Amino acid sequence: MSAPVPLATGDARELLRATVAQFGSRAALVSALGPQTLCILELLRQEGLSLPTYFLDTGCHFAETLAFRHEVERHFGVEVQVVRPAIDPGTLHATDPERCCAIRKVQPLQQLLGGFEAWVSGIRAEQTADRAEAAAVEWDLRFGLWKVNPLLGWSRATVDEFLSRHGVPTNPLLASGYRSIGCAPCTRPSTDERGGRWAGLAKTECGLHRRSSA
């Protein structure tokens, strides 16, 4: 096991530089191409760095999100590789969303990350109580590798301002009242950042960022 990248100041650029220096192509950037990932891709571009980049295609994404992947590839000149679930659980989201997320998201990510030593995520501390307990660099108990969270201290306003300042395109659904965009059956427009995800349920995470091995 490699030692983790230095915590340093928690500065996003510094963390990304250290991650690429230490892990190189053994670190993966994984996302659904939300605003945070776009910030990371823009920071990598500005620093002249790159990481293998993956999009978890659950089979339930909005058409706008699927089309946006190509725009991201064009804008940043990167390949966004697609990871898909091994099976199609159909409408399981309606009766057992935890199991649906396990099949469509967690299991494919687990399989992917088995080939890496670190992964980079765009979670921010202010998004959920669980994410508020995350560290900029931490051992991911669930998936068994290092996890780097360079934007942990960023606010949503900081994210939006950064993307606007650097002319980074965003998922068009953000202009239609969505604040956080996941699978279509489980995402609603919302004024609250995570309030549109699994609206009406106690569920707040799909499991990718849950900070336990359970």
Which residues belong to the active site? 206
Cβ proximity to ligand SF4, 17 vs 142, nearer residue: 142
Per DSSP bridges, beta strands 80-83 and 53-56 are parallel
208 binds ligand SF4 (CB under 6 A): no
Minimum gap (Å) between residue 113 Cβ and ligand SF4: 17
Residue 34 within binding range of ligand SF4, rule CB under 6 A: no
Nearer to ligand SF4, 92 or 135 (CB): 92
80-83 β-sheet, strand order = 80-83, 53-56, 27-31, 118-120, 145-148, 137-140
Of 113, 101, 84, 126, the residue nearest 23 (C-alpha) = 113
N-term to C-term CA, the chain? 22
Q: ∠73-75-76 over CA atoms, to 5°? A: 70
Q: How many residues bind ligand SF4 (CB under 6 A)?
A: 13
Q: Which residue of the chain is nearest ligand SF4 when measured via CB?
A: 183
Which single residue is written with the structure tokens 């910030």?
Answer: 39
* Single residue of 161, 185, 189, 192 touching ligand SF4 by CB under 6 A: 185
Q: Which residues bind ligand SF4 (CB under 6 A)?
A: 58, 60, 93, 97, 100-101, 104-105, 182-183, 185-186, 206
